[in-house]
Copies of this chain bind each other. A is one copy, B any other.
Amino acid sequence: MKNLLVAQSGGPSSAINATLAGVCQYALTNENVGRIYGAKHGIVGVLEKDLVEIGETLKSHDNLERLVHTPASALGSCRFKLKNPLEDPAQYKQIFETFKEFNIGYFVYIGGNDSMDTVHKLSEYARENNYEDIFIMGAPKTIDNDLMGMCHSPGYASAAKYIAQTVAEIWQDMKVYSMKQVIILEIMGRHTGWLTASASYATKSYDIPSLIYLPEVHFNDEKFIADVNKKLENSNAVLVCVSEGVMYENGVFVSESAENSETDAFGHKKLTGTAKSLENIVKNKIGCKTRAIEFSLIQRCAAHLASSIDLSESKLLGMISAQKAIEGVSGMVPVLNRISNNPYKVEYSCVKSNTIAGNEKFFPKNWINAEGNGVTNDFIEYVRPLIGGDKDEKAGTFLGQSKFLDLF
C-alpha cells in the first residue's frame, strides 16, 4: 500500500486549505492509501524531506471543517521554480528519493501557474524515467483567476467577494461628507484585471460614481485626470479602483514611473504603490481631497468573507485530484467549466498540467467598456453566482438578503 503526499505553493488564498481538506478527505476513505503526508513549504519540503503526517489530525471531522475555513496555506508555501531535468538532474533525484523513502505513490500539488509547471515537469520525468508507481496530479488555485483551461479558479471568488463587500462599505463611508473627494483603491492583479473588476459588483449595485482600471488597458495620466474631473462634475465622491499592475503604453508600470516616485530619507528612489501614484496625480493636478487605500494581503486571506461556493468547489477539486492520482492518472489537473450562469451550473473535467503552466488568461477585451474605465454587465453575470449566491449571509453584508439603506 502506498502513501499520499500533498503540498501547497504560491500565494495564499481563503480557499486553498479547502482543496487540501478535499485531498485528505478522499484519501482517508480510500483503502489503497496508507499514510497521508504534507510537505512543508511546497516542493521545497519535498526536496528537503521536510514532511509531516497529517492524516491522523484530519480524521477528526471538526479539524477537517476548521481546515476548510482556515485561510492561507496550512502546509506553508514557497515560490520555487524547478529547473529542467537536463539542467539540474540532482533536484529530480532528490525529489524521487523523498518519494521512495516515504513510500509515496500519489503526489498532489496545489497551486497556480508555476506549481502546474512543477506538476508537468515531475510527471514527464517520471514517465521518461519509468517510475511506474508514482502518480502526480495538480489542483488549481489562484485568487488572480488567470489560469487557462477553466471558467474560474478556486480562491478567486472569495477574494472577489471580499473586494465587492468592502467597496460597498467604503462607499457608505466616503459619501458622508459633502466636500469633493477621490478615493483610490489598489487591488491585486499584476497582469490581469479579474480581481479589480469584481469591485464592479458593488459599484453597479449602488450606482457608485466610479472608475475601474485594469492591466489589460494601457493607463494614461491625462485620460485619468479627465475621467476623474468628469465624474466630479456630477458627484462629490468618486471611487477609483485600480489593479496594482496597470502600466503605460511604453510598458512602464504606473507604480514605477519616475514622475510618481518618491525618495526616502537616504535619497533612494522608492517604488510607490499604484494607488499612491494616482493619489499624487489627483493631489497635484486636481487638488481635491484624496486618499489611497491598498487592500494588500487582507484581500487574499479574509476567511470570514470566503465564498461558500468557492470553498465547496475548491474542496471538490481536491477530492477529484486525489481520486485521479489514486486511479493512476498523472500530469493532469481537475478544472471547472460553466454550463450556465442562471441557474449556476458547472461541470468538472481534467486538463493537462501544461495547458495551465506558463499561460495566463486575460480579462476579456469585450467585457471592458469603450472608455476603458469600467466593465460590462457580461462580467456581472459571470461573477454574480460566485460571490452573490450565498444563502447564509449575515445581516450587514450587502451581498446578502438586503442592501444598505440610504436616507437621502
Contacts and interface: CB of A to CB of B under 8 A. Distances in A.
A129 interface: no
A296 interface: yes
A76 B392 CA distance: 30
A69 B395 CA distance: 6
Contacts of A54: 407
Contacts of A17: 405
A298 to B, nearest CB: 6
A155 interface: no
A19 to B, nearest CB: 14
Nearest to A172: B72
Interface stretch (A119-127, A375-383, A396-404): A396-404
A72 B175 CA distance: 9
Interface of A: 12, 14, 17, 38, 40-41, 44, 52, 54, 57, 62-63, 65-78, 165-166, 169-170, 172-178, 183, 258-266, 270, 280, 284, 291, 293-294, 296-298, 300-306, 392, 394-397, 402-408
Contacts of A403: 66
Contacts of A404: 66, 69-71, 303
B166 A396 contact: no
Contacts of A76: 175-178, 408
Contacts of A172: 12, 70-72, 301, 303
B265 A270 contact: no
Contacts of A298: 166, 169-170, 293, 298
A262 B77 CA distance: 34
Contacts of A62: 402
Given A71-B173, A293-B298, A304-B397, A408 B52 contact: yes
Give the top 7 A-B pairs by smallest Cβ distance, nearest first.
A173-B301, A70-B404, A72-B172, A66-B405, A69-B396, A303-B396, A77-B176
A261 B407 CA distance: 42
Nearest to A40: B408
Given A169-B301, A170-B301, A407-B57, A262 B270 contact: yes
